[in-house]
Each structure stands twice: as structure tokens, then as C-alpha cells.
A and B are shown apart, each in its own frame.
Chain A
Amino acid sequence: MSDTLALDSKDIEKKFGYAYAIRNISLQVRRGEFVALFGSNGAGKTTFLKVTAGLMRPTKGSLSIEGFDVAKNAEETRRRIGFLSHNTFVYRDLSPLENLKFFCRLYGVSDSEERLLGLLKRVDLAQRANEPVRAFSRGLQQRVGIARALLHDPSLILLDEPYTGLDAKAAQTLNDILDEAARSGKTIILTTHDIQQGLRAATRAVILDRGKVVHDGPAKDIAVQEAYVRYIHHGASA
């Protein structure tokens, strides 16, 4: 069973002081699934993704990525993850090409200019590959972030509010990339407030409320809409 799971979390809990950010999250995501993770501010979406990506240590529980325990095989699991946040994690003083070359060296993948220019072409930045990122608008910087997150061909893509600051064209580019990734069998977990964006290509919808999973089901199910309205739109637990 675990061979088919991209993500297997058991009773994950994260506390900051006495406050729970997430509690007892047990979520199994099969390889190739596209999961939309919804929740209002403070519901624990970002914390869950950060714990999954190895940026945060859970207070309790166990987590494995494609069969590798995150606590025991941290580097192996990070190699399989591409993480895109609303922060781009790229150096503003360097150009997109220099940024990607640097991250290629960290990931131990080919940093050939041809490959990286191809990646930049996918996000419509090939023409500006040598300009400093500092000169770019927020949306353009996010495109560099998209290229950075995908440069090592990750099998699990984690996206934390990736549409923040993107214009319509850049959002469409991201959608195209995600659709292509989903078609090629990659596992995608995307957090967003926006139900339309979230459900656009997702196969499964999970709703978090105050750190707990309150809904988990197929994305096309009408119950998702009802749960979204109940827990996020109306803030049932507030």
C-alpha cells in the first residue's frame, strides 16, 4: 500500500507554545493525485505543507514521502519535493539563470544553460534570463520561483497559495504547468483560499479548520462546496 502513497502522514501535530497549528492530521495521498487543500487564515494549511516539506519538525506524529520517513531520510525526501510558496525563495541580486544554476548545484542536477533556458521558456522568461530578479515585478519574480520549484523534476509538488501576486497570464502559465505535471503522474498538493482555482484541476479536496481535517473527498463532489461554505465562507467554527 505504502508503495502507491506519495504522502502518508499519521497523527501529525504541530504546536507553537501552547497553541496547536495542526492537530492529529492523518492524510494519505496516492501517487498522481491532485489535492486541493482549503482553509481560512490560520487553519494550518501552510504549517502542514511546511511540515511535509521538512521545513518544520512536527511536535508529534510520523510522516513519509514515497515510502521514505521524513525524520530518518530528510535529504532523500527533500529531493522528491518541489515547493512553491507566495515567497519565491530566489535571490534578487542574481538573474533567473544564475538563481537556477545555483539551485541546480544544490540539487545535484544538470545546470546546462540549454536546459535552464528551456525551463525559463516554459515560464515565459527566456528573454529576460540574464536580468537581475530585483528588476522584475512580483508576478515575474513568482515565475522564477515556479522554475526554481520544478528544476529538479520533483515527483511531489507542494504549492502554498501559488497564485498570490500572479497576473492572469502568469496564473494561466502556472495552470498549464500544473496540468502537464498532473498528466505526467506527479502528485500535487495545492493550498488556496480560492475554491475555483483550487477545484479547477484537483481530483480531491481537503478542508482544514483550526488545524483539523473537517472534510476529505472527491473534488467534484457537491459536498465540497457545502463544506467550503460552512467552514470557510461562513466560518462555522469561529
Chain B
Amino acid sequence: MRPVAAIVAKDIAIEYKNKEAFTSMLLFGLLVVVVFSFAFEGSDRHALAPGMLWVAYAFAGILGLNRSLNMEIDNDCLQGLLLSPVSRGDLYLGKVVGNFVFTLIAELVILPVFIILNNLAFNTVLIWIAGITLLGTLGFVAIGTTLSLISAQTRMKEVLLPALQIPMTFPVILSAVQATSLVMSEDSKGVSFPLSVLGIFSTVYITASYFVFEYIVEE
């Protein structure tokens, strides 16, 4: 696991120096939450809130994936990684863990703002939402990391990534919205189904990407 840790530490060191990914993710995520909160004033807001939260997470996440991808494209650094005696699967895991950490940190700031703007209490519901956020984000970055490298080999990478990412993560986002909606209405009985879907998709995306990664990155 040493190469995985090295890649994560390198991504954190670069982000600590330029703060590009975190700033853009946070700014965009907070803007979505604030604008939607004011746009949907009234009784509908509570029903729309879970979708609003996951739209903010998803678009902030795509910004982070784009930035993570650009870091590796600049100076052909990805080729430097591929030249090293590290399995392609471990390179993938390193990038996934790095993306997961950045996305999660941004979400940890977005979530309290969402709670406050939607007049939610800081109680067990928050713990549930945090858990759903963890699982949903894992599924999102697991496939997003692979898709970002597929789109890296095209000319329209900035456009192609969201165009691939949103449809591919639709089951993840839909399940996360359902689960969040259920826990916000304090009906946690039915939450096991969307959570299972989240768990299955995350596992499938990570396992499949781990094994196909070498075919994606090699020319």
C-alpha cells in the first residue's frame, strides 16, 4: 500500500500548495446550496432539499475530478506514474483515495451550510446524512476517477467528463437522494434499500475499475 499512500500524500501536498481544487469545489458547492435554498423558498423546499444537496455534491465533485485529472496531464505526469513499477490497480486506488479525501473535505463544509439553510437540527439525522455522504461519494469518485482518465485522452475532456459522469453515477446519486430524503423525513426503515444500492454500485465500480484501469491508461 506504500505507492497508494505516496500518491495520496503527493495529491495532498500539491493541493496544500495551490488550493485550486478545494477552492473551486467549495465555492461551487456552496453557491448551489445557497442559490437553491433561496430559489425554493416555501413548502416545497424540504422535499427538494436532498436533491439540492446531491446536485451540489455532484458538481463540486466533478470540478475536483477535473482538477485531479489536470494535475496528471500537465507535463505528462501520468506517464511518469505509468513508468513506475507499481501496478495500474494501485495507481487507480491512489487516485481514488485522493479524490475521495478532497471531495469529502469539501462536502464536510457544504453539509453544515445545507443543514442551517434548511432549518434542520444537528441531531442523529446529520449522522445519517454524513454516512450516506460517505458511501455516495465513494461510488461517485470510484467511477469518476476512471472516467476522468478516459476523457483525458480526448480533446473535449472538460465537457466529456460531466457528460459521462452524470449518467454513469445516476444510480448512485438517485439512491443517495432517496436515502437522504428518507432520513430527513425520519423514516429510516426504508433506508436500507438505497443504502444497499449505494454499497453495491461502489463495490462494483471500484472492483471493475481496479482491473480495467491498465487497459484505459495504456495507449
Contact = CB atoms under 8 A, between A and B. Distances in A.
B10 A92 contact: no
A46 B62 CA distance: 33
Contact of A98 (B13, B18, B81): B13
A87 interface: yes
Given A55-B218, A55-B219, A94-B10, A106 B86 contact: yes
B127 to A, nearest CB: 36
A85 interface: yes
Contact of B83 (A55, A76, A92, A132): A55
A108 B2 contact: yes
B2 A78 contact: no
A231 to B, nearest CB: 26
B84 A93 contact: no
A93 B14 contact: yes
Contact of B82 (A54, A79, A90): A54
Nearest to B17: A93
Nearest to A141: B75
Contacts of A107: 84-85
B14 to A, nearest CB: 5
Contacts of A91: 10, 14, 71, 74-75, 77
A56 B83 contact: no
Given A55-B219, A79-B85, A89-B83, 20 more contacts: A54-B82, A55-B79, A55-B82, A76-B85, A85-B76, A85-B79, A87-B76, A89-B75, A90-B77, A91-B71, A91-B77, A93-B18, A94-B13, A94-B14, A106-B3, A106-B7, A106-B86, A107-B85, A141-B75, A148-B80
A102 B75 contact: no
Question: Which residue, B3, B7, B76, B83, has most C-beta atoms of chain A within 10 A?
Answer: B83
A54 B82 CA distance: 8
B87 interface: yes
12 contacts: A50-B219, A53-B83, A54-B82, A78-B83, A78-B84, A89-B77, A89-B80, A93-B71, A105-B2, A105-B3, A106-B7, A106-B81
Interface string A74-112: 011011010101011111111000100011011110000
Interface in A43-72: 50, 53-57
Nearest to B5: A105
B218 A89 contact: no
Contacts of B83: 53-55, 78, 81, 83, 89
A102 B91 CA distance: 13
Contacts of A103: 80, 84
Contacts of A89: 75-77, 79-80, 83
B163 interface: no
B31 interface: no
Contacts of B75: 87-92, 141
A56 B85 contact: no
A90 B219 CA distance: 20
A218 B76 CA distance: 34
Please list the 7 inter-chain residue pairs (A to B) with the smallest Cβ-Cβ separation, ordered nearest first. A89-B80, A105-B6, A106-B84, A87-B76, A79-B85, A75-B85, A78-B85
B80 A90 contact: yes
Nearest to B81: A106
Contacts of B2: 105, 108
B14 A108 contact: no
Contacts of B77: 89-91
B43 to A, nearest CB: 48
A85 B79 CA distance: 10
Contact of B219 (A56, A92, A94): A56
A103 B85 CA distance: 10
A5 to B, nearest CB: 20
Given A87-B75, A88-B75, A132 B17 contact: yes
A107 B218 CA distance: 19
A53 B3 CA distance: 19
Contacts of B218: 54-57
Contacts of B74: 91-92
B156 to A, nearest CB: 19
